[in-house]
Amino acid sequence: MSKSALDPASRVLCERVTELRQHHGFTLDQLAAASGVSRSMLSQIERGQANPTLAVTFRIAQAFGLSIGELVDDPLASGLIEVVRGDDPASLFRADSECQIRTLSPLHMEKSVEFYELQIQPGASLDSSAHFSGTRELFTVTAGKAEIVAGGTECKLAAGDSAHYRADVEHSIRATGRVALQGYLVVTYK
């Protein structure tokens, strides 16, 4: 079987595994160690001589920090621009009398980075439990005043200020001014 004889999805998988392995600077042996898939199977996949099972595809995707969908997605077949519409109700993460959180990043990015627009009413707060180890947040105030607490530390922010802090400890963003706190929150995961 040659690459040209493969169905389009299998051909994309062959090319993506090779492309990602080279991009990450992995040898076949290193990818085999990271994925738990044998070197010979990986070589056959890259040459279009094997049709991997779902389990094998999953392990390869995990080695690159991807989902199966991201591994087999042909980036050139999909649009180069992703849009999150401001009026899309699915982008509202939380909306109540104290706080509104709107997701600005595409959902598939949420394993590495999340981007939110926040609005917190005076005296209210967004309290969060510790996230995964190594998680960090960056909050920028666009209107109002804020108090950020992360673990045992705290700081006060005004419009235009930003704070970058650990989010793998209990943390909160409190609106301390007389007007609603507005800002942008970026969450990054290691």
> DSSP alpha helices (H): ranges in 48-159?
54-63, 68-72
99 in the same domain as 50:
no
Please check whether residue 126 is in contact with residue 187, taking contact to mean a CB–CB distance below 8 angstroms.
no
pLDDT for res 110: 60
Residue 79 forms part of a structural domain: no
**Residues 108 and 177 placed together within one structural domain of the fold:** yes
Task: Say how many CA atoms lie within 13 Å of 34 toward its Cβ.
Answer: 17
> Which residue do the tokens 């094997």 mark?
50
pLDDT at 183: 97
Structure tokens at 2: 């040659």
Domain tally, the chain? 2
* pLDDT for 77: 56
In this structure, the answer to whether residues 63 and 141 fall within a common structural domain is no
Q: Within 13 Å, how many C-alpha atoms sit on residue 130's CB side?
A: 7
Cα torsion angle, 109, 113, 118, 124, sign: positive
pLDDT on residue 12: 78
Does residue 10 lie within any of the structural domains? Answer: yes
pLDDT score recorded for residue 96: 92
Check whether residue 67 and residue 109 sit in a common domain. Answer: no
Please list the rounded mean pLDDT of every run of 10 residues in the chain (190 residues). Answer: 61 85 88 92 89 88 84 64 79 90 77 89 96 94 98 95 96 97 93
Q: Are residues 68 and 131 in the same domain?
A: no
Whether residue 81 lies inside any domain: the answer is no
Q: What is the pLDDT of residue 76?
A: 57
- Compute the distance between CA of residue 74 and CA of residue 175 in angstroms, rounded to an integer: 44
68 and 95 inside one domain: no
Side by side, which strands form the sheet with 125-128? Answer: 125-128, 171-175, 146-150, 153-157
Assigned token pair, 90: 């699915």
Q: What is the pTM assigned to this prediction?
A: 0.61
Q: What CA–CA distance (Å, rounded) separates 117 from 86?
A: 11
Q: Do 161 and 98 sit in the same domain of this protein?
A: yes
Q: Are 179 and 143 in contact (CB under 8 A)?
A: yes
> What's residue 113's pLDDT?
86
Domain that holds residue 122: 89-188
Decide if 77 is inside a domain. no
**Cβ neighbours of residue 58 closer than 8 Å, sequence gap 6 or more:** 68
- Both 33 and 113 in one domain: the answer is no
If asked whether residues 45 and 11 sit together in one domain, one would say yes
